[in-house]
Amino acid sequence: MMAAALAGVPAGVQAQGIWAGRRQLFVRFAGEAETATMYTAVALVRELERQIARSKFHSISIGGRDPLANVNFLIAALEGAKPSIPVMLDTDGQRPDAFALIAPHLALAQVTVEFVGPETMVTNAIETVAAAAGATCATAMVLCPRDDTSDGQLLRIIEQAHRASASTQIVIHPPTPTGEQPVLDRRW
């Protein structure tokens, strides 16, 4: 019996990426400090079926803390549920080797880069984009720069993502303004 710690399976509106603004059913893996509920794959199948039957959703979004650490759990749940709506994996891209296993169950792989941590995080994110393209999965890269992120950093990542897959869709979310005046940087 496979189980995973989920922060929940809430309904909501996607805030980031190419499906922003779409109503989704979120499968959120819990982080260290979050309250979690243990779900078996069978329990997740039942929850997905129940919620999809009760309401209309654009898609299912799988995200939260390191969803690909639970790739076998996800495969079992998605094979059991056989959802009638598209499934999106929203990941930081740190497990590119696990992507091929779940790719047949996905309509979209969304790799989110938040510009924290070492440069290897970006390298792994680009490898995940390449793995998604190799699995013929639609791919998006969401860049969430910080105030100190340069245009040069953004351009390098965009170029790397397009070398990995020319069909990768790029979304850049401007940094949240800081200070008393909520004025965006002119480049946005």
Q: For the segment 107-134, what is each residue's pLDDT rounded down to a tens digit?
A: 999 999 998 888 899 999 999 999 999 9
Give the integer Cα–Cα distance in Å for 177 and 102.
36
Q: Are 121 and 94 in contact (CB under 8 A)?
A: yes
DSSP secondary structure string, 160-184?
A: HHHHH-TT-EEEEPPPPP-SSS---
Write out pLDDT tens, residues 90-106: 999 999 999 999 999 99
Residue 178 is predicted with a pLDDT of 58
Residue 176 is predicted with a pLDDT of 64
Residue 182 is predicted with a pLDDT of 45
Averaged pLDDT in 10-residue chunks for the chain of 188 residues: 93 95 97 90 97 97 93 97 97 93 96 90 95 93 92 95 95 72 48
Comparing CA positions, the residue from 173, 101, 172, 86 lying closest to residue 132 is 101
- pTM, entire model: 0.89
